[in-house]
Amino acid sequence: MAQQANVALTPGFTFEGYRIERQLSVGGFSIVYLATDEEGRQVAIKEYLPASLALRGEGDTRPNVTSEHLPAFRYGMKCFFEEGRALAKLSHPNVVRVLNFFRANDTVYMVMAYEEGRTLQEVIHKHKGKLSEKFIRGVFVRLLNGLREVHTHKLLHLDLKPSNVYLRTDNTPVLIDFGAARQTLASDTPMLKPMYTPGFASPEHYQNRELLGPWSDIYSVGASMYACLAGNAPQAADERLKKDYLVPAMARFEGQFSDQLLETIDWCLCLNHLYRPQSCFALQKALTEAPDPAQLTTKRSSWLSQLMDRFRKNTPR
């Protein structure tokens, strides 16, 4: 089925005690609405509606799914429901709070806490990447607290990027849109079409998906930090595997930020997953401790040296 545009539920539509106010966003996998519950509190409701499998027309509330695509649609719906069940167990200030999840209109819905703010992507766009080191460290250290909680529950985000980092009005970060979290660390079941964003997805997203792990989300964290400096996403990992033109943060932003921050970003963006930080804790430690070059591990120091050598060789004189 070709990619198509699904019609959102109309403002005023009520179901399961919720009233739709307006559409907040739409993607290839879902539609997100602003709604109110029976007590008048605002919530965000995410509706499972993959555009490649289902079509909902004007005036309809239920999606039309052909018999050919019904097995994949139902499998995805089951994964979406299980995702809601898993995320509802998480209670952390840096992870979006799932309040409820239910079946209705022949699909599945996830109800989340709604908060005022804007995405990190909006902040990057507004400031054209010129964000302070203090801001970057403050946002990502707290974000990693939430990601640690996710990984502790054997979940991966797998679509971490600036547009999925929501900043409250006090700049407290919240991880949102766990559309790819249905791939758990213990899962060996087949997935629907892989979901990832070029520039922020790790090499494992494209090939050798059995290698996906916490280090894959950490690559995405590094790419997001790089975007805070550059104003846009780094070169996509699949292209880097063919010909790596990515200018290391240590070279591109030398003198503009501390060597330690730039080195940490390059560490996260290593194409070899074994050379990246293996846990959120390891990355947090690098972002919070005072720089001490003597504490670099032999492997990490060697890789950084190779990285700079590679960059110098590829740079025209």
**Structure confidence by residue, pLDDT tens digits, 131-144:** 999 999 999 999 99
The phi and psi torsions of 154 (rounded to 5 degrees) equal 60, 35
Q: How does residue 291 score in pLDDT terms, banded at 50, 70 and 90?
A: low
Per-position DSSP letters for 87-133, written without gaps between them: HHT---TTBPPEEEEEEETTEEEEEEE---EEEHHHHHHHHTT---H
**Structure confidence by residue, pLDDT tens digits, 260-289:** 999 999 999 999 999 999 999 999 999 997
DSSP 8-state code for residue 69: T
Task: Report which of residues 115 and 295 the model is more confident about.
Answer: 115
Contact status, residue 75 vs residue 192, Cβ threshold 8 Å: yes
- Dist CA 25 CA 148 (whole Å): 27
Contact status, residue 228 vs residue 252, Cβ threshold 8 Å: no
Strand, helix or coil at 80?
helix
Q: What is the dihedral of CA 146, 152, 158, 164, to 10 degrees?
A: -10
For residue 270, the number of C-alpha atoms closer than 13 Å in the C-beta half-sphere is: 22
Say what the pLDDT of residue 20 is: 98
**Structure confidence by residue, pLDDT tens digits, 141-200:** 999 999 999 999 888 898 899 999 999 999 999 998 875 544 543 344 444 555 678 999
Say what the pLDDT of residue 309 is: 65
Tokens standing for residue 317: 């004189």
Tokens standing for residue 221: 């964290």
Report the alpha-carbon angle 116-117-119, nearest 5: 140
Structural domains in the chain? 14-113 (3.30.200.20), 117-314 (1.10.510.10)
68-74: long-range contacts, CB 8 A cutoff, minimum separation 24: 68/1, 69/1, 72/192
